[in-house]
Structure 1
Amino acid sequence: MPTAIGSYEERTRRPAGAASERTRVLTTRSVPPDESLEYWHDAVFDTLVGMEIAAEGPAYDATLRTDRLGDLRITTVEADPGRVHRGPRFIARGDGREVFVAVQGTGRARVEQDGRATELLPGDIGFFETRRPFRTTFPDRFRMKIFAIPRPLLMLSEADVRQLTGRAVHPGDGLPALLGPLLERLADTSASYTTPMAERLSESVIDLVAATAADQLGADPAELPGADGVLLTRVRTYIRWHLSDPGLTPSVIARAHGISVRCLHRLFEGEGTTVCRWIRDLRLGECRRELAARPPGPVSLGEVARRWGFTGAAGFGKAFRSSFGLSPTDWLDRVRADGPPC
């Protein structure tokens, strides 16, 4: 018979095992086998949300790793077969402030939420609403990567999220084919990025998740213009990933996406800008963010400029003055005197 942990009422202890402030690794192997389920229950509550957990037998082998990537909390779970149930008594605790977007790595997950049931196979993406009950059964040992996204950043109504739950998003083509592998890779590498890069990647990922959700919901073409909307999202993500490359030109971007330069320019004309201006503005924004975060003292403008794709201090200074009306040095002096602008 399954052994369920049903006595979890007021336990709020934090399991030991943090690897660093940004990365935590928790494993049932750190406690005696007869305490593993209780420990795992605490670990899941502490890292994700409160859930009832059931497994075959008292010994349970499971590990989770959690990292931060900007506004995203990323948790990779590897565990024995089992069942989880997020019921009303856990929801009442008020820990459902995020929407979970999960990628099934290995094994299977049978998901039930909002009156629907589906099975996630390796590579599939699933949306979980943490404000409402759900059940998930893992018939085999599995690995799942879970991205917890703050609800306001996803910009989806409760009704929209309700339409996404209990469904499997298959990575066949379109946005899911781009999103799934990206989430898989980021979950494995998230701890390696510097803070500015992590924040930038987080924004890109959330944008891509939101676009994928809109695509799955059949959003109004005016909000997500079909193939052009998918292509534009892919191009923007590509640009963000390659922003530090000074050779990032319209022809390089167009070739990477199998389109003409003219088609690329047309995509950005619909956004009221040009591809070159969009790249320049992104680079200037990253340079400003890095400069403002530097401690007082001399700053190598050329070093910062080259890190974000400018060829040197002269070109960076010219672009900066054209956009903000001040040289980078004068702007930095003002920031240090008055604080960053709102």
Structure 2
Amino acid sequence: MNAIAPASASAAIHTWSTDTVPPAQRLDYWVGAVCEGFLEMDVTSPAAGDFGATLVSAPLGPIVVNEVRGSAQDVYRTRRAIAQSRHNYFYLLCKTDSAWVAVQDGRAARLLPGDAVLVDSRRLYEFHLLQSADTISLELPTAWVDAWLPDAGDLVARRIDGQAGWGGVLSSFVRQLTPALATNPPLPAELLGDQLGGLLALAMGHGPVQAPDAGRAALRRRVLEATRERHAEPGLTAAGVARGLGISERSLHRCLGEGATTFATALAGFRMQAAQRMLRDVRFDRLSIAEIGFRVGLADASHFVRQCRRHLGGTPGELRRRR
């Protein structure tokens, strides 16, 4: 099998498809070129005679967004593949069109449409995709996951309910992270990563199980106040706020999670509060919409308009006219 060459001309988004080979060779191509050469897995399929599949992949900061479409198949992470791997990751997978099964560490997660599941590529796993392979799979660096989930190894192959609670919020967020979005993200990749990490921690039960102690509550107030004070800085990240406070980024995310929020949510809220004040005040009418957006930390005027519509219920122009 020749080395894999992306079918896409883009430098950021890559596509592999069985459509590039004759029908009789498609399963072999998928197994050899894609699953063994790229994903380092073995695959069998009950649809061998009529098999088809496509993988589209794009980076989003440290995360890689993979979108798979294809025929029913059984996927196996083998000892041989693990031994040959130069890099290892956690994978967060979400499938919306049909039920499927993920197996790792002796646990079998029976997943309904919309559910999510976490697996570790350093250990054997199986996926039984009974009707189709249509899945969003997020490739997460192990160090990144460990920063959010200190006990991540104990959480693999556990069903994350995609219809309720924080699992439902996580599932909705994951389904938005397509390769196409990764190439043109609506927010900085770091902020989207923060949002994903916070939601993953909450969905896995690292939210407010009990009332936090006074020290943790005080730290959360410090984090929120620092975020409020610095909200106008373009490109502000959780790491930057944590450095300013002399704490670890993990501590920042954990204390916010105990208050049932995330850094990205808090930052957007402070920016929109400031924008709303200016749009309601006639003294700021001399400023353009783009200038108000810049003053609240959103240098992209079109992104500012989208954020106002989402959080405040109208475009900046509409909000001015309503006062």
TM-score (norm 2): 0.65
> Aligned runs of 1:101-116 on 2, under 5 Å?
101-116=92-107
Equivalent residue for 1:309, pick from 296, 301, 314:
296
- 1:121 deviates by 1.6
Q: Which runs of no fewer than 5 residues in structure 2 stay unpaired?
A: 240-288, 300-323
Indicate how the Cα distance of structure 1 residues 141 and 116 shifts in structure 2: closer, same or farther if over 3 A, else same: same
Q: Look up the equivalent residue of 1:203 and give its one-letter code.
A: D
Higher mean C-alpha deviation, range 75-84 or range 161-170: 161-170
- 1:175 deviates by 1.5
Tell me how far apart the structure 2 counterparts of residues 18 and 173 of structure 1 sit (CA, whole Å): 37
Deviations, residues 247-295 of structure 1 (Å, cap 9, x unaligned): xxxxxxxxxxxxxxxxxxxx97551426454134244261799xxxxxx
Q: What is residue 209 of structure 2 aligned with on the other side?
A: 226
- 1:210 deviates by 3.1
Q: Look up the equivalent residue of 1:24 and give its one-letter code.
A: H
Confirm or deny: 8 A CA contact 2:74 2:126 kept in the other structure.
Answer: yes
SS at match of 1:193: coil
Given the alignment of the two structures, is residue 152 of structure 1 paired with residue 143 of structure 2, yes or no? yes
- 1:148 deviates by 0.8
Tell me how far apart the structure 2 counterparts of residues 75 and 22 of structure 1 sit (CA, whole Å): 12
> Aligned runs of 1:1-342 on 2, under 5 Å?
13-41=3-31, 42-47=33-38, 49-56=39-46, 57-155=48-146, 160-187=151-178, 189-193=181-185, 197-213=188-204, 215=205, 219=206, 224-226=207-209, 269-273=218-222, 275=224, 277-284=226-233, 286=235, 306-307=293-294, 309-310=296-297
Confirm or deny: 8 A CA contact 2:115 2:163 kept in the other structure.
Answer: no
Deviations, residues 79-126 of structure 1 (Å, cap 9, x unaligned): 101111111000001245210001112122222110111221210001
Deviations, residues 155-201 of structure 1 (Å, cap 9, x unaligned): 2699933322222111243221211101101226322227x722321
Q: Look up the equivalent residue of 1:22 and give its one-letter code.
A: A
Tell me how far apart the structure 2 counterparts of residues 127 and 72 of structure 1 sit (CA, whole Å): 14
SS at match of 2:235: helix
Confirm or deny: 8 A CA contact 1:73 1:148 kept in the other structure.
Answer: yes
Percent of matched pairs sharing the same residue:
19
- 1:206 deviates by 2.3
Q: CA RMSD in A?
A: 3.4
How many residues are matched?
244
Tell me how far apart the structure 2 counterparts of residues 197 and 304 of structure 1 sit (CA, whole Å): 20
Q: Which runs of no fewer than 5 residues in structure 1 stay unpaired?
A: 1-10, 230-266, 290-301, 313-342
SS at match of 1:271: helix
Confirm or deny: 8 A CA contact 1:108 1:142 kept in the other structure.
Answer: no
- 1:64 deviates by 1.5
SS at match of 2:55: strand
Indicate how the Cα distance of structure 1 residues 311 and 285 shifts in structure 2: closer, same or farther if over 3 A, else same: closer
Tell me how far apart the structure 2 counterparts of residues 175 and 115 of structure 1 sit (CA, whole Å): 25
- 1:17 deviates by 0.8
Tell me how far apart the structure 2 counterparts of residues 311 and 160 of structure 1 sit (CA, whole Å): 36
- 1:75 deviates by 0.5
Indicate how the Cα distance of structure 1 residues 310 and 199 shifts in structure 2: closer, same or farther if over 3 A, else same: closer
Q: Look up the equivalent residue of 2:181 and give its one-letter code.
A: T
Deviations, residues 121-158 of structure 1 (Å, cap 9, x unaligned): 21000111100111111111241101111111112699
- 1:203 deviates by 2.6
Confirm or deny: 8 A CA contact 1:81 1:142 kept in the other structure.
Answer: yes
Q: Look up the equivalent residue of 1:226 and give its one-letter code.
A: V
SS at match of 2:159: coil
Confirm or deny: 8 A CA contact 1:287 1:305 kept in the other structure.
Answer: no
